[in-house]
A and B are shown apart, each in its own frame.
Chain A
Amino acid sequence: MNLDFSQIVPYIPFMLKGIWTTIQFVIVSIIVGSILGTVLALFKIGTVKPLRWFADAYTSIFRGTPLILQLMIIYYSVPQLTGYDIEAFTSAVLAFGLNSSAYISEIIRAGIQAVDKGQMEAAQALGIPYRAMMKDIILPQALKNILPALMNEFITLTKESAIVSTIGYLDLMRRAQVVGSDLFRNFEPLLFVGFIYWCMVMVLTVIGRMIERRLKLSD
């Protein structure tokens, strides 16, 4: 066994830049996924049948097929269908945002439905309109059930983000591969970015624990 980390030293700034590219893309994906996921969750618990049907079908498709396939389809099919090239970043955000919105909508739906039915009845009996009830009574309570699961989803998304290296987006993973082929040594750069992924996930985990503890305190 001969590990030699000295050779990757000149490449470290190049790889560290990948942290930012990865975080950038993860954050935008989380935002897209959360907004879409909330809308889908509201469709699912609402009373409008076509919207419910749409949200269920959407979830089924995005959870039922591989993420890497969804990414490839978006990256390759958009130019083929429209004639416009799509940037790696845009297709990555689209694929991850659309995909995680399916998971997030399930998390939010379950969180809302776990709120005691009596809460909704008490609000209705007071004549509180639906929107206000959702915003001020139901969602704040649902957040307790939702936040821990949501943190998990964000962690998964951070790790899975490595998939975007397959379409050439210069994220952490891709940068490790570039360095690897430059040096004809793959192990060291891979270990290096592996450690960085682990650190990022640990940060998220700690934030998640802190949120959970604060929620418990307010009980």
Chain B
Amino acid sequence: MINVQNLYKKFGSNLVLNDISATIKSGEVVSIIGPSGSGKSTLLRCLNLLEQPTSGTVLINGVDLSAKGANIDRSRQQIGMVFQHFHLFPHLTVLQNLTYAPIKVKGLKRAEANEQAKGLLAKVGLSDKAAAYPSSLSGGQKQRVAIARALAMEPELLLFDEPTSALDPEMVKEVLDVMKDLAKSGMTMVVVTHEMGFAREVADRVIFLDHGTLVEEGSPADFFDNPKTERARDFLEKVL
């Protein structure tokens, strides 16, 4: 599904991603963890080209996203993204947030899009908020709407960048629960997270980044209980 080969990313002279190669299979849930500044967000953003890699390739279903002349908008339709700070469209209602892209980009009829959006809102437990504006929602509700908005494009892959770290503690669970449901339903997910509990419980695989290098990867059980590298052990000691 995703194939990252020898990915490098520099900001000026600052090497942020150093020769990353990784494969993510369809239906897999992969957690990216690592210390602050290790390049987790940058790696995630390279997957839908919000960040242009300095070199290397990103293949989505065999299509090279970073190639010249690639239809990025088209590929991005297959890749949903959920941000730390939600980034809902504040001037649109919750329902319009969900229907705008399907109507505009995929050419859905308004009635179809509304129907689908209502189904998604029910799925994330927010049926009563369709007519509300984002500013009237709590953080947890905003993030659930953001997930529903991404799902409305029926993506094959969902990227999450620390989806719960801007939330009050009591709202973390409602968002994680939605994500768990998604994982169970077979959605392919790449999740940058500080929630080690979530990574351990839900992820099929953990990727550990440090200073822009992919230091270690493996099943959650192996990684959390038997980290192979010194750096991973240090990190886990600090966060667990």
Contacts and interface: CB of A to CB of B under 8 A. Distances in A.
Interface of A: 116, 118-119, 121-122, 124-129, 132, 136-137, 140-141, 218-219
Contacts of A129: 73, 105
Nearest to A125: B81
21 contacts: A116-B87, A118-B87, A121-B50, A121-B83, A122-B83, A122-B87, A124-B73, A125-B48, A125-B50, A125-B79, A125-B150, A126-B80, A126-B153, A127-B76, A127-B77, A127-B153, A129-B73, A132-B104, A136-B100, A141-B91, A219-B135
Interface string B69-103: 00001111101110101011111000000001100
Most buried by A among B73, B75, B85, B150: B73
Given A119-B87, A125-B81, A125-B150, 4 more contacts: A118-B83, A126-B105, A126-B150, A127-B77
Contact of A126 (B75, B85, B90, B101): B101
Contacts of A219: 135
B87 A128 contact: no
Interface in B22-67: 48, 50
- The bracket for how many chain B residues form the interface is 20 to 34
B79 A118 contact: no
Contacts of A119: 87, 89
Nearest to B84: A118
Given A127-B73, A129-B73, A122 B135 contact: no
Most buried by A among B48, B50, B89, B149: B89
Contacts of B76: 124-127
Contacts of B88: 122
A64 B153 CA distance: 49
B74 A127 contact: yes
A218 B83 CA distance: 25
B104 A128 contact: yes
Contacts of B87: 116, 118-119, 121-122
A140 B105 contact: no
Nearest to B90: A141
A124 B100 CA distance: 13
B171 to A, nearest CB: 19
Nearest to B101: A126
A119 B90 CA distance: 9
Contact of B101 (A118, A127, A140, A141): A127
A136 B80 contact: no
Most buried by A among B48, B75, B87: B87
Contacts of A128: 73, 100-101, 104-105
